[in-house]
Structure 1
Amino acid sequence: MKALAKGAALLLATAAWTPALAEVPVNGGPYNVSVLPGGIGAERTIGGAAGTTLAAEGAPYTLSAWVKPDARQAGVVPLIGVGPARELVLADGRLMLVDGAMRVAGPAIAPARWTHVAAVSDGSRVTLYVDGRRVASGAARAAATTPVVNIARATPGQPHFGGTLVGATVDAAALDARAVAQAARTRPDFANVQLWQVGAGWPFQKQANIGLTQQQDAWTLPQTKGDAYTAPVAKPVVAKPATEALAPGRWQINGWQLAAAPEVAGDGAALSRPGRAGGTWRAATVPGTVLQTLVDRGVYPDPYYGLNNLKIPESLARQDYWYRTTFTVPAAGRGQEADARLRRG
């Protein structure tokens, strides 16, 4: 029954994280991206007066993000910046702010773990923060640049960042230490963050289905100040006989159980043997999607209420699932050839 797996998880969910920072200019973020080493980055233009002000010489700004490098990389690896002149980078694995000809260096950033980084400039002096703590500062007058937000910019002759950036944001203001510390304490649920897989694969259509390969920018997703979420609520499981007679010689098989394939050891042949199977199995809603089962069993909230959809991980649609049941062949059907058909509801 594994053929049900991916098709049963078509109710996808997206999630985003928005940092609790100061005013964000249009297209300043946040951006949630996963990028490949040696690949390409992403960029967004900041238009109008906001872009002109931000890109001017001596302008205050803040660059911030949660970063998780895949590995330590040699050379200067851009993370986030305004144009080519102002960038928060990793230089041989160490956090560094490059502003024109000026450099302010901080500590090494460990790979394969999430770290909050920020560079705050009042236009003439830069302070670096790691996980909300001040780690370095120095004189660096903000250089004139172009009003473009660069995420993981590819630079000739230098390695390209490989890893993930969450909440990558450009603020047109110098945030104070309290605001940076608060952003570092507001740790997102990274499993629920919607990521743009930058440079991974080719869009199969120009417009219609681009959302399947390039997710909506996090800063454009719905926000709320009120109570827009509800807690998951498990529904009672309706008891039905394992085999339910529908007509002479025709039975409906009930009692289906659902498990995520990564949590189950063994293949279809092993799972088809009598006895208990390892892993976490839940009473399945059949007919119904994988997500419907997880909602009915109280794992996730009702996605049709408020912003509950943002509480459901995108990863659910990136894995397989097993359906399994046990039944005794009715006496009237023993010794006969069985024709199993899938009922879709």
Structure 2
Amino acid sequence: MRNRLFASTISMLALCGATAATSQTYGPFNVVAPAGGDSVRTVIGGERAAAINAQNWTMSSWIEPKAIPNGSALVAGFGDAATGPRRYLALDQGRPSLVTEAGVLAASARITAGTWHHVAATFDGTQARLFVDGRQVAQRRLTVAPVAPVATIAPRGAGPVFAGRVAEFALQVGALDAAAVRTQAGTTPDPALTLYQNGSPDWPVQVRQSLGQTVQQDAWTRPVSKAPSPRRSPSRYRPAPRSSRSVRANGP
């Protein structure tokens, strides 16, 4: 798994060319976003925060939707998902798209649920280009604003919520050309070699949790059965008889 993550990072750096450096790439990020789960949000600091707002950039990800959302569902990106400025890969009625505060760049064809698709958006400072499975499908002029250095997968509060898997989501400095994007889209993620972060933590005792909960529920807040524990004698749960001394002490 570590080899998979390391190899993904190295391949993206190589595609950027000689000017790319580790501090100029954020990712890869692998997440399982279950229906009814929570989003995965990360604040980016240091040199990488500046790289998020580079003049030229490429944002890419493998996407496997569990179902096609009804409406425009943000999948993964940067900035304030609800109010902007923002920069997100999204699915609009199943059509891959780039969503920004300056406008939307969308493909004309829909993708299918349960299948991996590679989606990439590049920006050269003037033109934004959208690629699906290694092929350019849309292009338009955009003027994008700087975004907050916050990355979110399957954000909530911004419309329909994406459910499915996201693999190798990353943003890197430099607008890749079509050949480089085709290279990125050439190998579908191998589930046996990819470690996914779960958007809804799984705990052995508590199998359901509230939206937004990030730690296991306190034991004292869980429902308690009145039945005795099968591992202990029921006699331990019977109240002890009160002594005559205690009765006289507490009497009139």
Q: Same fold (TM over 0.5)?
A: yes
TM-score normalised according to structure 2 size:
0.68
How big is the shift at 1:36? 1.2
How big is the shift at 1:64? 0.6
Query: Any unmatched runs of 5+ in structure 1?
Result: 1-12, 205-212, 215-345
Mapped to 1, the partners of 2:197 and 2:25 lie a distance apart of 15
| Residues 308-340 of structure 1: per-residue CA shift (max 9 Å, x gap) | xxxxxxxxxxxxxxxxxxxxxxxxxxxxxxxxx
TM-score normalised according to structure 1 size:
0.51
How do residues 258-337 of structure 1 correspond to structure 2 at under 5 angstroms?
none
- Judged with a 3 Å threshold, the aligned counterparts in structure 2 of structure 1 residues 192 and 52 are, in CA distance, closer, same or farther, namely closer
Out of 70, 82, 105, the position equivalent to 2:66 is 70
Q: In structure 1, the residue corresponding to 2:179 is in which secondary structure?
A: helix
**Letter aligned with residue 67 of structure 1:** I
How big is the shift at 1:44? 2.2
- Judged with a 3 Å threshold, the aligned counterparts in structure 2 of structure 1 residues 53 and 114 are, in CA distance, closer, same or farther, namely closer
Q: In structure 2, the residue corresponding to 1:149 is in which secondary structure?
A: strand
**What is aligned with 1:33?**
31
How big is the shift at 1:203? 9.3
How big is the shift at 1:27? 7.2
Instruction: Assess if the C-alpha contact under 8 Å between 1:64 and 1:116 holds in 2.
Output: yes
**Letter aligned with residue 152 of structure 2:** N
| Number of matched pairs | 191
Mapped to 2, the partners of 1:112 and 1:38 lie a distance apart of 17
How big is the shift at 1:190? 2.5
Structure having the larger proportion of residues in strand = 2
| Residues 270-305 of structure 1: per-residue CA shift (max 9 Å, x gap) | xxxxxxxxxxxxxxxxxxxxxxxxxxxxxxxxxxxx
**What is aligned with 1:111?**
113
Mapped to 1, the partners of 2:127 and 2:197 lie a distance apart of 33
Out of 115, 137, 140, the position equivalent to 2:139 is 137
Mapped to 2, the partners of 1:161 and 1:67 lie a distance apart of 10
| Residues 209-240 of structure 1: per-residue CA shift (max 9 Å, x gap) | xxxx99xxxxxxxxxxxxxxxxxxxxxxxxxx
Mapped to 1, the partners of 2:40 and 2:196 lie a distance apart of 13
Mapped to 1, the partners of 2:25 and 2:186 lie a distance apart of 24
Mapped to 1, the partners of 2:39 and 2:4 lie a distance apart of 19
Out of 70, 76, 79, the position equivalent to 1:80 is 76
Instruction: Assess if the C-alpha contact under 8 Å between 1:86 and 1:143 holds in 2.
Output: no
| Residues 120-148 of structure 1: per-residue CA shift (max 9 Å, x gap) | 11122111111111111111122221012
**What is aligned with 2:155?**
153
RCO greater where, 1 or 2, for CA within 8 Å and sep 6 or more?
2
| Residues 134-166 of structure 1: per-residue CA shift (max 9 Å, x gap) | 11111112222101222222224x121100011
Report percent identity of matched pairs.
34
1:99 and 2:100 are equivalent in the alignment: yes
Mapped to 2, the partners of 1:175 and 1:45 lie a distance apart of 25
How do residues 146-295 of structure 1 correspond to structure 2 at under 5 angstroms?
146-156=148-158, 158-202=159-203
- Judged with a 3 Å threshold, the aligned counterparts in structure 2 of structure 1 residues 26 and 45 are, in CA distance, closer, same or farther, namely farther
